[in-house]
Amino acid sequence: MRCMILRLQIPVGFLWLVAATTSPARGVETVWDGVYTAAQAARGESVYSAECSRCHKDDLSGYRNALIGERFMDSWREDRLESFFSLVKRTMPRNAPASLSDGDYLDVVAYVLQANAFPPGMKELTSDALGDIKVEGKQGPQAVPNYALVEVVGCLVQGAGGEWFLSDATEPVRTRDPGDSAGTDMSAIGRKTAGSHRFRLLDADVVRPGPKGSPLPQGQRVEAKGFLMRKPGDDSINLTSLRSSGSACVR
C-alpha cells in the first residue's frame, strides 16, 4: 500500500503568532531557583574580601549578622532582590559608596546568596533580573515581619476613643520608601480590592495628608506607610506617610 504524505502549508506568520501566544510569560522567581552561578559567587567572594570583609568580617557576621542568617532574612524576605542590590550599591563600601562596577556589586550579591545557602544555578545574576527575584524562606512566602517598613491601603475611620484606624486593609507589603508614593495613580489605589485587616494608626494627627490643621479624610481609601507592629489583638502601624486616594470607602 502506498503511503501518502500530506504537506500542510502553514503560513509563517501563523507559526510566529502561535509561538508568541504560547511562550510562557516572564514570571517571578525566588532566591531558591538558582538565580546566580557558582563562578559568579566565587568572583563575588574575591570582591567581598577586598572591599567588604574589613567591616563585615570574613564570615559575613559583622554588624550583628546583617548579611547572613536570620537577621538577613528578616531584613529582606518578602521583598525583591533589587532592593538589597540597590542598598549595597548606594552605601557600600562605606568609604567609597557606589564606587564599584555593577558587575562587581552583582557578584557580591551572588556571594551573599551563596553564603545564605541559596542554591546556584546555570545563569548569572543580572541587573535586569533583580526586580523579578523574590527573597523568601525555604518554607515559602510568609507575612511581613514585625518592625518592617510597609505599605497598606485601607479605609480611614475614627474609633469611639478618638484613635484612628485603617479598616478593610490590604495585606502589608514591604516598601523601602517611607514617604508618599510620588507619581502613583491614587485613583488606582482607591480601586484596590479591600482586605480583611485592621490596623491602629499611630501619629495619624501628625502624619496627615494636606495642610497642617486640615481634617483627616475619614471615610476615604488611603495609602498608609509606616513600621508594622503586630501584637495579639492590636496590630498597628507607626506612620511615616498617609495619603488619600480621594475615593470613598466601599463597604
* pLDDT tens digits, one per residue of 10-54: 343 433 333 333 333 457 899 999 999 999 999 999 999 999 999
By percentage, how much of the chain surpasses pLDDT 70? 86
- Whose cell is 511581613? That residue is 144
How far is 68 from 113, CA to CA, in rounded Å? 9
How far is 131 from 137, CA to CA, in rounded Å? 18
Give 246's strand partners: none
Give 165's strand partners: 157, 200
Please report the pLDDT score of residue 208 as a whole number. Answer: 81
Domain with CATH 2.40.50 in the chain: 149-248
Domain 29-135: which CATH class? Answer: mainly alpha
Please report the pLDDT score of residue 185 as a whole number. Answer: 67
pTM of this prediction? 0.81
Instruction: Using alpha carbons, select from 221, 226, 249 the residue that is nearest to residue 236.
Output: 226
pLDDT-based confidence at 245, cuts 50/70/90?
confident
Least confident range of 44-53, 135-144, 177-186, 229-238? 177-186
Instruction: Using alpha carbons, select from 24, 28, 26, 27 the residue that is nearest to residue 141.
Output: 28
* pLDDT tens digits, one per residue of 149-177: 999 999 999 999 999 999 999 999 999 99
What's the grid cell of residue 136? 523568601
Q: Cβ neighbours of residue 84 under 8 Å, at least 6 residues apart?
A: 76, 109, 112, 135
Domain with CATH 1.10.760.10 in the chain: 29-135
pLDDT-based confidence at 130, cuts 50/70/90?
very high
Q: Which CATH fold would you assign to the domain 149-248?
A: OB fold (Dihydrolipoamide Acetyltransferase, E2P) (2.40.50)
| 203 class by beta-carbon count within 10 Å (0-12 exposed, 13-18 middle, 19+ buried) | middle
Q: How many CB atoms lie within 10 A of CB 186?
A: 17
